[in-house]
Amino acid sequence: MREAPQQSPLEKAALDFLPLVLFFAVLTWKGIFAATAAFMAAIALVVGYTLTRHRRLSPMLALTAAIVLVLGGLTLYLHDKTFIKIKPTIAYSIFAIILAGGLMTGRNFIKLLLEQSFHLPDAQWRILTIRWIGFFLFMAVLNEIVWRNFSDEIWAGFKLFGAIPLTILFAVAQTPFILEHQIEETEKD
């Protein structure tokens, strides 16, 4: 049996981005309920494709898909768009809780995720994780502000053209911190 191919960063980004683009396009064309159904279908297709091609799901994709399918299902079943609009708030909050819970139990999930690429002292991994916790909480609050005060189209545009660039900018802004504290690998490593 052949080993499943690794997912490239470009493929991962495309698969993460595709459901959001579809949601935004269908929203502007057919409204939030049709967009929610399209979003759910796209997430299900991404999960199916990922499982078929790579034989595993990342925990983040699995959690995101579960949240989308549950809250999207409630949106359609109850015909209440609030559920799909609070999806980002719930997802960001869960990510913050998982990271904080990991720190409290001595498991640094940011370190587990990135230690193959970066070598930092434990204290700096902790600082980096606290920064991500703060960022996720900030994004949860920001989503609440946007969906409660603006139209469906502006909220969806924020998800696509605001939240994603903010996340990329935040991640890039961590680069100087990581480079400043990176530990050189020994020959044994």
Where does a domain end: 27, 49, 78? Answer: 78
- At residue 2 the predicted structure's pLDDT band, cuts being 50, 70 and 90, is low
Q: What is the mean pLDDT of residues 51-56?
A: 91
Per-residue pLDDT, averaged over 98-117, amounts to 91
* 65/103 same-domain check: no
pLDDT at residue 10 tops 90: no
Whether residue 97 is found in the same domain as residue 10: no
Same domain for 53 and 140, yes or no, is no
Residue at 188 is within a domain: no
**The last residue of a domain, from among 78, 98, 114:** 78
Which of 78, 99, 126 finishes a domain?
A: 78
pLDDT band at 189 (very low <50, low <70, confident <90, very high): very low
Which residues, other chains included, contact 27 with Cβ-Cβ below 8 Å and sequence gap of 6+?
34, 35, 152, 153, 156
Q: Summarize the confidence of residues 163-173 as an average pLDDT.
A: 95
d(CA 21, CA 27): 10
When comparing pLDDT for 160 and 99, which is higher?
Answer: 99
Judge if 70 and 116 occupy the same domain: no
Look-up of token digits 């683009």: 21
Question: How much is the pTM?
Answer: 0.85
Query: From residue 26, how far is each of 40, 93, 99, 113 by CA, in Å?
Result: 12, 27, 33, 34
Q: Are 74 and 97 members of one domain?
A: no
Check if the beta carbon of residue 181 is closer than 8 Å to that of residue 124.
yes
C-alpha to C-alpha distance for 147 and 15, rounded to whole angstroms: 24
Domain span holding position 97: 86-183
Average pLDDT of span 23-51: 96
Mark whether 7 and 39 lie in a shared domain. yes
Write the DSSP symbol of residue 164: H
Helices and strands, number each (H, E), in the chain: 10, 0
Q: Letter for the amino acid at 115? A: E
- Band (167; pLDDT cuts 50, 70, 90): very high
Q: Structure tokens of 177?
A: 């911190």
Residues 6+ apart with CB under 8 A from 159: 20, 23, 24, 88, 143
- Say what the alpha-carbon torsion angle 58, 146, 93, 31 is, to the nearest 10 degrees: -50
One-letter amino acid of 88: P
93 & 111 share domain? yes
Let me know: does 96 contact 133? Beta carbons within 8 Å. Answer: yes
The pLDDT, as a whole number, for residue 113 is: 84
Question: What is the pLDDT at residue 185?
Answer: 61
* 98 shares a domain with 19: no
- pLDDT at res. 5: 79
